């Protein structure tokens, strides 16, 4: 974010504070516009990341064609409908064909898409589409489990509900492979 954008965003935060009946004259709120904009740079940092730049692949597979899964990757995102957070964990998996990906890249890929204004369903689709495009596996999968603050602190106010979504491609659409995946992530 350039200096002009930061200044504009800080003015918007001041306007929001005024709209809810607050003022930045109070000691605890004087630096709030700056802190909010600084936090936005991290929360929405996914817009500054290209999936292509994240993915490092290796060809030392030597015929390995079994499921590779990174489980329980925590993620944080923001609902594009209410601009409230939703948080949870994801499982990202693929069936290698000729290449494997650096394991930390799976977590970074999930973060890349989660750190944007989002809906949960789209995040999973974006992860599997990126894996398909850059890794060309026999199949890819992204299962996400999250609690949405737009459901817990407003609206229906259900505190313990979790939304589970999946995006499956290739061989993961076959029942036996899908069952093995769900067994590996502990969702059967």
Residue 82's φ and ψ, nearest 5 degrees, are: -125, -5
Residue with tokens 């992860």, as numbered in its chain: 127
82 in catalytic set: yes
Say how many residues make up the chain: 188
Identify the CA nearest to 67 among candidates 139, 130, 129. Answer: 139
Catalytic residue of the set 8, 31, 41, 80? 80
180 in catalytic set: no
Catalytic residue of the set 91, 112, 126, 148? 148
Catalytic residue of the set 112, 118, 120, 126? 120
Distance CA 63, CA 51 (A): 26
Catalytic residue of the set 81, 153, 162, 174? 81
120 in catalytic set: yes
CA torsion sign for 1, 127, 79, 89 is negative
Catalytic residue of the set 82, 129, 149, 180? 82
Catalytic residue of the set 79, 112, 118, 126? 79
81 in catalytic set: yes
91 in catalytic set: no
Q: Known catalytic residues?
A: 79-82, 120, 148, 150
């Amino acid at each position: 974010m350039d200096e002009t954008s930061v200044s504009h965003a800080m003015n918007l935060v001041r306007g929001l504070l005024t709209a809810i009946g607050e003022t930045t004259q109070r000691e605890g709120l004087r630096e709030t516009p700056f802190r909010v904009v600084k936090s936005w740079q991290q929360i929405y940092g996914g817009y500054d990341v290209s999936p292509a730049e994240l993915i490092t692949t290796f060809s030392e597979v030597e015929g390995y064609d079994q499921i590779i899964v990174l489980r329980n990757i925590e993620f944080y995102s923001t609902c594009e409908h209410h601009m409230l957070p939703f948080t949870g964990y994801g499982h990202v998996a693929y069936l290698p064909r000729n290449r494997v990906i650096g394991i930390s890249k799976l977590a970074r890929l999930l973060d890349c898409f989660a750190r944007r204004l989002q809906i949960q369903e789209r995040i999973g689709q974006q992860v599997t589409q990126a894996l398909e495009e850059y890794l060309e596996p026999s199949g890819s999968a992204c299962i996400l489990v999250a609690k949405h603050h737009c459901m817990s602190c407003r609206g229906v106010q259900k505190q313990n509900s979790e939304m589970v979504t999946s995006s499956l491609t290739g061989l993961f659409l076959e029942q036996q492979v899908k069952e093995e995946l769900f067994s590996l992530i502990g969702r059967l």
